Structure 1
Amino acid sequence: MARPVEPAKVARVIAALPGADTVAELADVFGLLADPGRLRLLTALLEGGEMCVRDLAVASGQSESAVSHALRLLRASRVVRVRRDGRHGYYRLDDTHVRLLLELALAHVGHEREDA
């Protein structure tokens, strides 16, 4: 292995890096976010707040079955949460971290378009 140019800086960076489990979990979350259908659902929740599967299906242009499947995956990774009301489930973004991540990504994409 090559020796670093700035050993003190490299040592600080190595000490600050997250562990393998954290990196794997982060990769899973970004993998979930890499799907256009799931992103449509998440942006719908970002704009609409709490929504049921049927409304999410209409808003995102997807089937209720596809929406249910995507929400199951997103819920398992703590990206969305559900509130039950009788036979209906109402989904929302899990927390402000998810909201911030989406808002930053949307701002980044918008910024790139402005520069083009």
Structure 2
Amino acid sequence: MATRAAASEVWVVTDSHHPVLGQADRHLILDAAAVLEAELADNLPTDPERASAIVQQRLKLGGTDLQRRIGTAYQGIADAWSLGVTKIPAIVVDRRYVVYGETDVARAVARIDQYRRTQP
């Protein structure tokens, strides 16, 4: 794809309610942490001690895969914040250019490439 070749790095920042089509180097799904937290909290008893024990057990059973998923989810939030993303969906090119509201990576990259060609 010619438009993709002009961008050295493409990130998609979105959530599970705003799907974005196309290939990107990174997909930051901002509600992934909330989804994981909801899974861990699903059907917990009202007793705080029992609930805590169940969550600890779920974390242990999830092992390193769950730890990785949690780390990736929160890292995505931190990365989006550090890029200054203010709306979703957002397609970020080279950590410098952003197109908000576009759901097609190729179209966003083409718009950024067009802008870059007109700027000295």
Which fold has the larger relative contact order, with Cα–Cα distance below 8 Å and residues 6 or more apart in sequence?
A: 2
- Which structure's residues are more often helix, by fraction? 1
**Normalising by structure 1, what TM-score?**
0.30
